Amino acid sequence: MRSLHQGRGLGEGATVAECLATAARQLAGALALPPREARLEAQILFAHALGVNRAWLIGHDRDVPTAAPVIEALLRRRLAGEPVAYLLGEREFYGRTFRVTPDVLIPRPDTELLVELALEHLPQQATRTLLDVGVGSGAVAVSLALERPLCRTCGVDLSAAALEVARANARGLQAEVEFLVGDGFNALSGRRFDLIVSNPPYIAASDPHLNQGDLRFEPRLALVAGSDGLDLIRRLVGEAPMHLETDGWLLLEHGWDQAGVVRDLLRGGGFASVFSAKDLAGHERVSGGHR
Ligand SMILES: C[S@@+](CC[C@H](N)C(=O)[O-])C[C@H]1O[C@@H](n2cnc3c(N)ncnc32)[C@H](O)[C@@H]1O
């Protein structure tokens, strides 16, 4: 990476404002970001490295920043494409901060729809049982457990490393969740739940987006599900009836163009009241039905 300020790198007298401007230019060029987004990313990375907030950066724009090697190292990794959430080690989801590592999917704002729909099926004082298949960072399971503390929440994931992150998040946010390592429902024989939610991997193995942006750095296990992306969804729809109480609901997040197929799978699997709901971008993103 070139020094942050032509001829004067960090620690060589460049001010916070000068370093931010140069970093923003480099980010815009390397990652094809619009200028405003590049500037925001530069501020976020500097603030993280310096242990301050963005307001401090604006108020101290004529200071010469300390921690130059830390800022340069973070910027170098971001310029190589590493997701901001992995560099910071955290991401906000449903109003709370979750720890994230490269062992887990970075929680997406779209997945908040799955949480909202689940909550609609869980009255405030409900004492129901919930299952989240594919917990990852724990974003969904921990959010539901905190929003509905009287419910009993269980989360499974095939990745033991992901479950470590989910456990740390549940501890840190003081959520009661039972975590199990398992492939689909196989750790849950004989157990039934009032509500099963899942944001499973749903990208087709040949999808070129896997080689772009943040997806390049996220676990393949969290993203890819067979040649059409529907392998795990098919299994979950097929096996969920054995793990749902009578009238229990299954809610599944899926790709923006998979709603029709998922609704057909649900109807074919004997689910009633099958529906799809739209995400912030207007795409049908979550489908569900009840037993
Ligand atoms: C798309 S991520 C969702 C993570 C988290 N729930 C979220 O919404 O941010 C899918 C998760 O499913 C897990 N997974 C993949 N295949 C699985 C399987 N057969 N059984 C259980 N979990 C699986 C992955 O390890 C990953 O953590």
Residue numbers of the domain that contains 210: 102-290
Does some domain include residue 24? yes
pLDDT of 6 strictly over 50: no
88 domain-assigned: no
**Ligand 1 in reach of 229 Cβ (< 6 A):** no
pLDDT at position 194 = 98
The residue to which tokens 């004067």 are assigned:
8
- Tell how far the Cα of 118 is from the centroid of ligand 1, in angstroms: 17
pTM, full prediction? 0.94
pLDDT given at position 66? 80
Secondary structure of the chain in HEC code, one letter for each residue? CCCCCCCCCCCCCCCHHHHHHHHHHHHHHHHCCCHHHHHHHHHHHHHHHHCCCHHHHHHCCCCCCCCHHHHHHHHHHHHCCCCHHHHHCEEEECCEEEECCCCCCCCCHHHHHHHHHHHHCCCCCCCCEEEEECCCCCHHHHHHHHHCCCCEEEEEECCHHHHHHHHHHHHHHCCCEEEEECCCCCCCCCCCEEEEEECCCCECCCCHHHHCHHHHHCCHHHHECCCCCCHHHHHHHHHHHHHEEEEEEEEEECCCCCHHHHHHHHHHCCCEEEEEEECCCCCEEEEEEEC
| Residue 227, pLDDT above cutoff 90 | yes
- Residue owning the nearest CA to atom 19 of ligand 1: 183
Cβ neighbour number for residue 246 with a 10 Å cutoff = 8
> Both 153 and 29 in a single domain?
no
Rounded Cα distance, 41 and 34, in Å: 11
Task: Specify if 92 maps to a domain.
Answer: no
Could you tell me if residue 2 is inside a domain?
no
Query: Is residue 69 domain-shared with residue 185, that is, in the same domain?
Result: no
Q: Can you tell me the mean pLDDT for 237-256?
A: 97
| CB of 133 shorter than 6 A to ligand 1 | yes
Closest atom of ligand 1 to CA, residue 157: 22
Residue type, 143: S
pLDDT of residue 161: 98
Residue 107 falls inside a structural domain: yes
Regarding whether 68 and 126 lie in a shared domain, the answer is no
Q: At residue 5, does pLDDT exceed 70?
A: no
* pLDDT (tens digit per residue) in 257-277: 999 999 999 999 999 999 999
In a domain, 57, yes or no: yes
For residue 47, pLDDT over 90 is answered with yes
Task: Let me know whether 113 and 236 are in one domain.
Answer: yes
Determine whether 166 is exposed, middle or buried from the number of CB atoms within 10 Å of its CB (0-12, 13-18, 19+): buried
Does 213 share its domain with 261? yes
Residue 272 and residue 179 share a domain: yes
**Portion of the chain with pLDDT greater than 70, in percent:** 96
Whole-number pLDDT of residue 257: 96
The verdict on 194 and 271 lying in the same domain is yes
Distance 146 CA to ligand 1 centre (A): 20
Count of domains for the chain: 2
Ligand 1 neighbour 232 (Cβ under 6 A): yes
- Asked whether 203 lines ligand 1 (CB < 6 A), one says no
Tokens 């997406």 locate to 108
Is 255 close to ligand 1, i.e. is its CB under 6 Å away?
Answer: no
Task: Classify residue 4: in a domain, yes or no.
Answer: no
Calculate mean pLDDT across residues 40-48. Answer: 95
Q: Are 156 and 217 part of one and the same domain?
A: yes
Q: Give the domain CATH number at 207.
A: 3.40.50.150
Give residue-wise pLDDT tens across range 61-80: 999 888 788 899 999 999 99
pLDDT at 175 over 70: yes
Asked if 153 and 271 sit in the same domain, the reply is yes
